[in-house]
Amino acid sequence: MADIEKVWLTNPSRRAALARMTGLMATSPVAAAIAQPDPRPISEHRRALSLAEMQTCFDFEPLFFGNVTRSVYDYTAHGDGSEFTLRRNRQAYDWVDILASRAPVPTSQVDLSSEFLGLKLKFPIIVGPTSGQGALHPDAEIGMFKAATAASNTLMMLSAVSTMPISQVAPASPGGTLWAQHYPQESLVSTQATLDRYQNAGAKGIIVTIDQQASYYERDLQDRNFGGRVLSQGGRGAGGGGGSGVPTPGIVTGASRYRISGGRLWYTWQYIDACRKMVQGPLLLKGIMDPEDARLAIEHGADAIIVSNHGGRSMDYGPSTLEVLPDIVTAVSGRIPILFDSGIRRGADIFKALALGANGVNLGRAARWGLAAFGSAGAQRVIEMMQQELVQVAAAAGCAKLSDINKTKVRAHFV
CA–CA dist 396, 394 (Å, integer): 5
**Active site annotation includes 310:** yes
Strand 125-127 versus strand 360-363 pairing type: parallel
Catalytic residue among 78, 137, 182, 310: 310
CA–CA dist 321, 353 (Å, integer): 9
The conformation of residue 42, written as its DSSP 8-state character, comes to G
CA–CA dist 53, 172 (Å, integer): 28
Of 355, 345, 348, the closest CA to residue 402 belongs to 355
CA–CA dist 36, 52 (Å, integer): 35
CA–CA dist 117, 281 (Å, integer): 9
| The residue type at 396 | A
Question: Helix, strand or coil for residue 97?
Answer: strand
Question: Helix, strand or coil for residue 112?
Answer: coil
Contact between 316 and 79 (Cβ < 8 Å): yes
Of 177, 290, 213, 222, the closest CA to residue 74 belongs to 222
Of 344, 76, 368, 322, the closest CA to residue 217 belongs to 76
Residues annotated as part of the active site:
310
